[in-house]
Amino acid sequence: MGLLGRAITAGAGHRKALETISDELFPGVGDVRAKQWKFWMLLVLSSIIAAGGVMGDSTPAVIGAMIVAPLAIPIYGVALAAVVGSARGMRDAFGLLMTGILVNIGIGVLAGLVFFDRIPIDENPQIIGRTAPTVLDLVVAVATGLAGSFAFVRRDVSDVLAGVAIAISLVPVLAVVGITLGSGEFDLALGALVLFLTNVAAILVSGALVFTAAGYDREAIQASPVIRRRARVFIVALVIALIVPLTYSSVRTFQREVWVGRVQEAAQEWVDGTDWNVTGAQYVGGTIVLNVIGYGDPPPADKLREYVRRSVPERIPVRVVEDYGSDEEL
């Protein structure tokens, strides 16, 4: 904590007082009515923007939703309450977080039920990219959460919060959870939910570290040791519980990349000496899609099947897409 604490407290007057940061992060402190209106207006709008951006594969819309979304505030509020032992702060922040999550998912479910898919769900990169979290996502999220916590604690670095909001995806991931639930893709919904919980756990861990290093725990007047202990046990248990699915997903992702590479190698052997070329391969919706381009008739498909099945299991379907659009299942 020494180095982190010095970085937070360096410079007279730059570290925020506990009263100031409590007013920013605890929903029940200060102008409660104004906070509620602001939170719900921004949450609903960001949820709608995120759902539309995800379904239409619009990266600018998704980024806009990340910047507008206020969902990180109650998460940091839970982290601060855990550090200072505030029962009221914990209750208010956690309650706002849970209702915000339900509203965000609900809007996504409505989008998945009502609107037609502009892009098939299993081919939409905005969805697929958020349904297979790995341990690397947790590491990146912790680093991002540290940056966000540091920005909240220091008066002179609040301008990085927009970048933090973009780096740690909350509302778009919940939009994916809702959209996939509304579309009946429950496995994808579970993967997106795990990613969201990973980001939440990262914010809680990093927030607790930074707020403790800032010395807020020593400033708390009416601290509850029970709240502190239970909150810290919950955070540790959440991280441990997420390690298992994240590790499993990491192994699966690595294995898929290996299979994609082997399919490309087999395809290259298949087209050698012909007027055909391999333009790429990717894992899409449980199938490895191989793209090839050339002139005249392609090489015999039986040969490609033989080359592929030397190193890729039969249970992994491979689809060949030729330049003129014909598909063939191997």
Alpha-helix residue ranges (DSSP H) falling in the chain: 2-9, 18-25, 32-55, 59-68, 72-84, 87-114, 125-128, 135-153, 161-167, 171-182, 186-213, 216-219, 225-271, 301-308
Average pLDDT over residues 284-312: 84
Q: Residue 215: which residues within 8 A CB-CB, separation 6 or more?
A: 5, 9
Q: What is the pLDDT of residues 162-197, one digit of tens each?
A: 667 667 788 999 999 999 998 888 888 888 999 999
Most confident segment among 77-81, 252-256, 289-293, 307-311: 77-81
**Residue ranges per structural domain of the chain:** 2-223, 258-329
Cα 115 to Cα 125: distance, rounded to the nearest angstrom: 18
pLDDT for the residue numbered 226: 78
Higher pLDDT, 203 or 165: 203
Question: Which phi and psi (to 5°) does residue 132 adopt?
Answer: -135, 70
Q: Residue 45: which residues within 8 A CB-CB, separation 6 or more?
A: 68
Q: Please name the residue that has the structure tokens 């991931």.
A: 173
Question: Which phi and psi (to 5°) does residue 185 adopt?
Answer: -95, 80
Does the pLDDT at position 272 exceed 80? yes
pLDDT for the residue numbered 92: 92
State pTM to two decimals. Answer: 0.81
Cα 19 to Cα 289: distance, rounded to the nearest angstrom: 56
Average pLDDT over residues 20-30: 87
CATH of domain 258-329: 3.30.300
Alpha-helix residue ranges (DSSP H) falling in 115-224: 125-128, 135-153, 161-167, 171-182, 186-213, 216-219
pLDDT for the residue numbered 325: 43
Range from 119-123, 193-197, 236-240 carrying the lowest mean pLDDT = 119-123
Decide: helix, strand or coil at residue 318: strand
Higher pLDDT, 122 or 317: 317
Average pLDDT over residues 28-50: 91
